């Protein structure tokens, strides 16, 4: 596939270059370039930050078209990373070994996602795509960036994949990067979504990276008590505040379960229609995935947005609309609402059909989650100065003065 060269401005060229791998639609890339933005509700025009994504690569050309549309200063290279030499990435980004400030990226999570555990090769960690982790390490080893940020699904840390995970950390340690890892809940960083992702961060100088302190708190699947001194997780209703949307083709949930979906209250799922709840007794208890007929609760964050949901997989909006026959039907989330749940700017544009858009956004890193990690790293590397008390404590913790839990 041909390279799509960027057309950076003089001011952009002066910024520190970043290599993006497995870039997708550019969630982490957006965080790189917006690391100087304030928290929440991304502005239409980003603040002037220290980095530019010099080159981005992914196997999906359509996703890179989306990235290029929103980050026109980035050169994109579609293709299989296993067939892409590091030297080519450096050449396209006008870099030499050691020039890159960062390497960022999230190798495809399919081998480690719980949704794939029904396949024996995934349960046993034999999926050949796991080698993509090795390709990420290969680029870090050959490009020698000042630091790297690797993102993946939480399942990468499970015992099932213990061998892969230990090998990954061991190899990065041998390269001198002293990798630190932590599973983060997106809602704890202002994202109105209960999405968990593991981040691995390392520095070329071997100093240990300190993860950012959570900015929000609240209940989740595994959290029943939380820090009451922090603002509550951002709810879906708060995320949609002030947003004007228009109906989209195919947004109503019709077909076999259309009527049942419309009867499910906000915050509930198919379990509403079991003998234990107030709906119809249509399903056996815990016989379906949690997301089946799932409706958003307006007063809580969304569940994880699915990249490839089936026709009855939510979360759907809590409101019902009337179809052409006058019957109430649940509706799917509209694209502007998906962007809000990902904390992407309202003017972010996505290439493709509605299914393409869902896939690209569902696979992306929520902007505020990526930005929290990258801002902490940027502060600790000294590229920006602390602007808040939390920032200042984080910088001091990295130097050993204090420790943030």
Which positions are catalytic?
109
C-alpha distance from residue 206 to each of 169, 307, 308, 403 (Å): 13, 36, 39, 18
Task: Report the 10 Å Cβ neighbour count for 319.
Answer: 12
Say how many CA atoms lie within 13 Å of 306 toward its Cβ. Answer: 19
Q: Sign (positive/negative) of CA torsion 174, 31, 308, 82?
A: negative
Q: How far apart are the first and last CA of the chain?
A: 45
Buried b vs exposed e over 262-286: b needs ≥16 C-beta within 10 Å? bbbebbbbbbbbbeebebeeebeee
Q: Where are the alpha helices (DSSP H) in 150-275?
A: 162-174, 236-239, 258-263
Pairing mode, strands 16-21 and 51-58: parallel
DSSP 8-state secondary structure symbol assigned to residue 93: T
């Amino acid at each position: 596939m041909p390279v799509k060269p960027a057309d950076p401005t003089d001011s952009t060229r002066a910024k520190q270059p970043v290599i993006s791998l497995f870039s997708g639609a550019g969630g982490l890339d957006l965080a790189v370039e917006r690391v100087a933005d304030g928290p929440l509700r991304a502005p239409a025009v980003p603040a002037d930050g220290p980095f530019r994504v010099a080159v981005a690569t992914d196997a999906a050309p359509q996703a890179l078209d989306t990235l290029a549309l929103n980050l026109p200063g980035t050169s994109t290279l579609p293709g299989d990373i296993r067939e892409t030499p590091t030297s080519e990435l450096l050449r396209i980004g006008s870099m030499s070994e050691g020039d890159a400030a960062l390497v960022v990226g999230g190798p495809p999570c399919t081998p480690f996602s719980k949704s794939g555990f029904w396949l024996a090769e995934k349960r046993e960690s034999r999926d050949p795509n796991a080698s993509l982790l090795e390709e990420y390490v290969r680029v870090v080893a050959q490009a020698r960036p000042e630091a790297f940020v690797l993102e993946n699904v939480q399942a990468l840390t499970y015992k099932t994949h213990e061998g892969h995970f230990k090998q990954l950390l061991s190899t990065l340690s041998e390269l001198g990067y002293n990798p630190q890892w932590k599973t983060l809940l997106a809602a704890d960083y202002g994202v109105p979504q209960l999405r968990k992702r593991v981040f691995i961060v390392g520095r070329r100088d071997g100093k240990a990276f300190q993860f950012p302190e959570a900015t929000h708190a609240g209940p989740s699947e595994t959290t029943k008590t939380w820090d009451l001194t922090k603002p509550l997780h951002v709810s879906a209703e708060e995320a949609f505040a002030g947003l004007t949307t228009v109906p989209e083709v195919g947004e109503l949930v019709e077909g076999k379960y259309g009527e049942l979906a419309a009867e499910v209250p906000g915050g509930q799922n198919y379990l509403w229609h079991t003998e234990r709840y107030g709906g119809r007794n249509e399903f056996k208890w815990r016989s379906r995935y949690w997301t089946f007929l799932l409706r958003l609760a307006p007063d809580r964050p969304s569940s994880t947005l699915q990249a490839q949901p089936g026709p009855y997989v939510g979360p759907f909006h809590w409101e019902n609309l009337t179809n052409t026959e006058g019957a109430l039907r649940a509706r799917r989330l509209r694209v502007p609402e998906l962007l809000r749940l990902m904390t992407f700017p309202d003017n972010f544009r996505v290439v493709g059909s509605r299914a393409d858009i869902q896939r690209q956004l569902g696979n992306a890193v929520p902007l505020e989650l990526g930005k929290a990690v990258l801002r902490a790293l940027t502060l600790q590397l000294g590229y920006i100065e602390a602007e808040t008390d939390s920032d200042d404590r984080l910088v001091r913790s990295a130097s050993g003065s204090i420790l943030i839990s």
